[in-house]
Structure 1
């Protein structure tokens, strides 16, 4: 091989390595975003098992103590993904607020990391086997980040709402809205944001326009992935939910 060819190879190899590094820089955040990481599939299965073991006991406790039930049905935001203690997630913070006011409500966390609206639709019947007084629906973020067709997201959310209303007519439903980062495209992000308000209006639901209000996009209130709230972030999320929830309790 000539000296010129050697020099050419020396130029090509670093460029190839750099291309691989650049690809990794894009792939790693994407993996973190989609379903809170593809390596979380086994963990999600474990969480589903844990959910099936703990939620009925919480609901049974509510029945025995003659308290009413608030069920938070959502994804990793509800589940408290990335927190060392699940008691720092916003449903537990809501419970603290309720207890401080001596109100007879128990807050049940039915959040699953990586959950989509399709996943929520598939497990809603099981959840409604127990009496629920207030149902907080917080799903859709993972649909949006994966670019799921908006018609599918809308249809799944409507199916969940319809199932709750049919199986438990007395249950009050709160719909939590979500917004997407601008890199998903203006048309998609705008229509995604609006579908929540449209569903809330069409179904006459209590509505939280953006559950991550004053948290989304603020670095110090989010974990290193830039998506999931920190402990302080969850306190703000709980306050946002509380503004809509409190009048329903009074």
Structure 2
């Protein structure tokens, strides 16, 4: 499957999501108080382990990599399947107050495109999330996504540019395309679930590899 086959559908990106438990919240607050990084991932189904077993997603794999590299940090996955940039913006203040993150990974926007929301709204929401995180002292990593060609050349270019514009305007780190090496892989069909939207467990290490280099630069040496 090439990227043309990567078609977003409402049913696939919707549904119930997952967020950090109260136990994770308590751990995050204790860790942050101790001066260790607290990494908050604010995302949608691509980060919420949609269709995967618990622990198979790229965010849990991030926790394992941090441990393997002996980087003391707490990861809070506040991703919810079906979430939009507007939804993320609405719930972010409470998450910020609860977890007090030192780092925020923002992976939102795919559902905005799916629902035909104005790109200006997506950009504004991502800007507000990023500025709020920075005002609280957190470093931010923007994780971009791309839409398939059937959305039209002009729209796909403008949508992709939203993430780089937000990163540039706020001097944040940027991962241009979360699904690089998956959606455009020669064997892409085998790397997606039956919905052809959500990557399988086999593909999750690649998603982490896409995020890790930029995130690592933001963490203590």
Correspondence for 1:126 among 62, 71, 94: 94
Q: Which of 1 and 2 has higher RCO (CA within 8 Å, sep 6+)? A: 2
How far apart are 1:66 and its partner, in Å? 5.4
Question: Superposition pairs for residues 128-143 of structure 1, below 5 Å?
Answer: 128-129=96-97, 130-143=99-112
Aligned equivalent of 2:202? 232
Question: In 2, distance between residues paired with 1:124 and 1:224?
Answer: 31
How far apart are 1:131 and its partner, in Å? 1.8
TM-score (norm 2): 0.88
Question: In 2, distance between residues paired with 1:37 and 1:72?
Answer: 17
- Name stretches of at least 5 consecutive residues in structure 1 with no aligned partner: 1-28
Deviation beyond 6 Å, 4+ runs, structure 1: none
DSSP-derived class of the 2:9 partner: helix
TM-score (norm 1): 0.78
Aligned equivalent of 2:144? 177
How far apart are 1:248 and its partner, in Å? 2.0
Aligned equivalent of 2:122? 153
Question: In 2, distance between residues paired with 1:73 and 1:184?
Answer: 25
Aligned equivalent of 1:21? none
Aligned equivalent of 2:216? 246
Please provide the CA RMSD for this pair. 2.1
Question: In 2, distance between residues paired with 1:88 and 1:131?
Answer: 26
Question: In 2, distance between residues paired with 1:60 and 1:220?
Answer: 40
- Name stretches of at least 5 consecutive residues in structure 2 with no aligned partner: 1-5
Aligned residues: 211
Query: Which has a greater percent of helix?
Result: 1
Q: Which has the greater radius of gyration?
A: 1
